[in-house]
Amino acid sequence: MFVMELRFECFADTTITQAEKSINNLLEALRANGQVLGREFAIAFNEGEFRVRLLMPEKNSLQTCFHSPWVKLALDELTKAKILAPRTKFIGQDINSETSYTLPATWQILYTSYVHTCSPLRSGETLQPIPLYRIPATFNGDHKRMIRWQTEWQACDELQMAAATKAEFAALNEMTNPQSDLFRRGWDLRGRIEYLTNIPTYYYLYRVGGINLESELNRACPRCGNAEWKLPEPLLDLFNFKCEQCRIVSNISWDFL
């Protein structure tokens, strides 16, 4: 992924409040479409110019053809706030993040964790993130719902990794139980993506706990009860189970690995 700097110049008198509002609106719109990653953006104001550094999946993530209706509207509002369309400067490649996958995948997985800032849609071949703006809008013109689902999954993951509060158990239930709200929402999004891209798309169901390794190896698909879902070899060093019918991948409980 790439670090880019956006510079916003005022072309007439404007107020800082008005400028900030329209810049923040544009950044939110880009984020909801997967064109910008991360959640917090520090906007610096200096010598009549606003600057912000952003993480993007590709060098050309801001290309017009990727814009959502909200991004286009936000750019119009920028003009109304007397600000020129942003100039982009390439800063460099982010050394901590993965390269985006831009080829059509043969299959895809919805997979994230609390340390990932990239797209939750991954290539089934390499697990590399697929930029969301490269697939058709999932709902209402962009990918807001996907980003929201990812944020909630990551919040649950953070709570269970910290293992310091009673909220850990509620969070784990959302991540591991196919009856939970988080599962239902993510799994529906998965179906929507499969329908829109025509590419088989799976949901990663987190697994931890259990009694012993043997019972974990014989665990059946928690959604349909299919006992034949264990793979001969783990996929991508992560997934030991795959239910074709339910479109779920899962792991052997982390407690026994």
H runs (alpha helix) in the chain: 16-32, 69-80, 144-162, 167-176, 181-197, 213-217
Q: How far apart are CB 242 and Zn ion at their closest, in Å?
A: 9
Is the Cα dihedral 3, 76, 43, 37 positive or negative?
A: negative
* Closer by beta carbon to Zn ion, 185 or else 230: 230
Q: How far apart are CB 32 and Zn ion at their closest, in Å?
A: 32
* Closer by beta carbon to Zn ion, 122 or else 223: 223
Distances (CA, A) of 172 to 168, 237, 247: 6, 22, 20
Q: Which residue, among 127, 140, 112, has the nearest Cα to 37 in the 3D structure?
A: 112
Q: How far apart are CB 125 and Zn ion at their closest, in Å?
A: 22
* Closer by beta carbon to Zn ion, 24 or else 226: 226
Q: Which residues would be at the binding site for Zn ion (CB under 5 A)?
A: 221, 223-224, 226, 243, 246
Q: Which residue, among 100, 133, 128, has the nearest Cα to 29 in the 3D structure?
A: 133
Q: How far apart are CB 244 and Zn ion at their closest, in Å?
A: 8
* Closer by beta carbon to Zn ion, 146 or else 246: 246
